[in-house]
Structure 1
Amino acid sequence: MCPLDTINPEQSLDENDIIIERSLPLCNSKEKIIIVVDIAEDENFTSFKLNNNSHKPLHMMKHAIELFLNSKYLINQKHEYALVILNENNAIWLSEFTNNISDVISALQNIGSCNAEDIFDLNTLFDIILENVEIPGECDLEEMLIPPPYVVRTVLFYGRSYTVPKLRKTKDIQKLLESPYYTFDVLMTHEPVDIDNNCNKIFKILQNLDRKGFAYFFPVSRDVKTLYDSVGKLLAHPLQRPIQKLANYNIEDIKI
Structure 2
Amino acid sequence: MESPVLSQHDDLDGVERKKEKVLPKIQREKIIFCIDLDLSMDECFMVGDKMNDTRINRTKQLLKWFIEQKTSWNSGHEFAVMILGERAVWHMDFTSDTMLLSHVIDELYTMGKFTAFNSTSLFKEILEHANLDEDDGSIIRAIMIYTRSDVLPSMPDREVLDVLYSSRRFYYDCIYIHLKAAEVPGPIKPQHVYDRLTEMEDQRSPGYYYELTRLLKKFATAMGELLAHPRVRPIQDDLMSKMPPPPSVKRLEDMALKQQLQQEQPRNYPQQTPSAPVRTTIPVAHKSPEKTAGVSSQKSGGVFGNPSSDPSSSSTLVAPSSVSSPFMSAAERERSNPSSRVKADMPHAGSTSGPGSPTGSGVGSATASGSGTGMDDAILI
Q: What is the TM-score normalised by the length of structure 1?
A: 0.77
Partner of 1:202: 193
**1:53 Cα deviation from its structure 2 partner:** 4.9
2: CA distance, partners of 1:26 / 1:250: 28
| Structure 1 residue 240 corresponds to structure 2 residue 232 | yes
SS in 2 for 1:94: strand
2: CA distance, partners of 1:159 / 1:27: 35
1:85 to 62, 83, 86: 83
SS in 2 for 1:42: helix
**1:130 Cα deviation from its structure 2 partner:** 1.4
Conserved 8 A contact 1:187-1:219: yes
2:157 to 137, 160, 169: 169
1: CA distance, partners of 2:43 / 2:30: 33
Partner of 1:30: 28
Conserved 8 A contact 2:156-2:200: no
Identity %: 22
Partner of 1:8: none
| Structure 1 residue 128 corresponds to structure 2 residue 125 | yes
**1:126 Cα deviation from its structure 2 partner:** 1.3
1: CA distance, partners of 2:98 / 2:133: 24
**1:27 Cα deviation from its structure 2 partner:** 3.1
Q: Structure 2: 5+ residue runs without aligned partners?
A: 1-20, 245-381
2: CA distance, partners of 1:172 / 1:224: 34
**1:178 Cα deviation from its structure 2 partner:** 3.7
Letter in structure 2 aligned against 1:125: L
Moved more, 93-102 or 29-38: 93-102
2: CA distance, partners of 1:62 / 1:188: 16
Conserved 8 A contact 2:44-2:51: no
Partner of 1:57: 55
| Structure 1 residue 225 corresponds to structure 2 residue 222 | no
Q: Which has the larger radius of gyration?
A: 2
1: CA distance, partners of 2:122 / 2:214: 26
Conserved 8 A contact 1:136-1:181: no
Provide closer, same or farther for how the CA distance between residues 78 and 188 of structure 1 changes in structure 2, counting only shifts above 3 A. Answer: same
Conserved 8 A contact 2:155-2:196: no
2: CA distance, partners of 1:132 / 1:83: 11
2: CA distance, partners of 1:198 / 1:115: 20
> May I ask how many residue pairs the two structures share in their alignment?
219
Conserved 8 A contact 1:92-1:128: yes
SS in 2 for 1:164: coil
Partner of 2:65: 67
Provide closer, same or farther for how the CA distance between residues 186 and 49 of structure 1 changes in structure 2, counting only shifts above 3 A. Answer: same
**1:115 Cα deviation from its structure 2 partner:** 2.0
SS in 2 for 1:248: coil
Partner of 1:180: 168
Conserved 8 A contact 1:177-1:209: no
Q: What is the TM-score normalised by the length of structure 2?
A: 0.53
2:202 to 203, 208, 211: 211
Provide closer, same or farther for how the CA distance between residues 202 and 25 of structure 1 changes in structure 2, counting only shifts above 3 A. Answer: farther
CA RMSD of aligned residues (A): 2.5
1: CA distance, partners of 2:44 / 2:169: 37
Moved more, 46-55 or 195-204: 46-55
Q: Which has the higher helix share?
A: 2
Q: Which has the higher strand share?
A: 1
**1:153 Cα deviation from its structure 2 partner:** 0.5
2: CA distance, partners of 1:67 / 1:245: 26
Partner of 1:107: 104
SS in 1 for 2:117: strand
Conserved 8 A contact 1:136-1:150: no
Conserved 8 A contact 2:143-2:172: yes
Superposed structure 1 runs of 4+ greater than 4 Å apart: 50-53
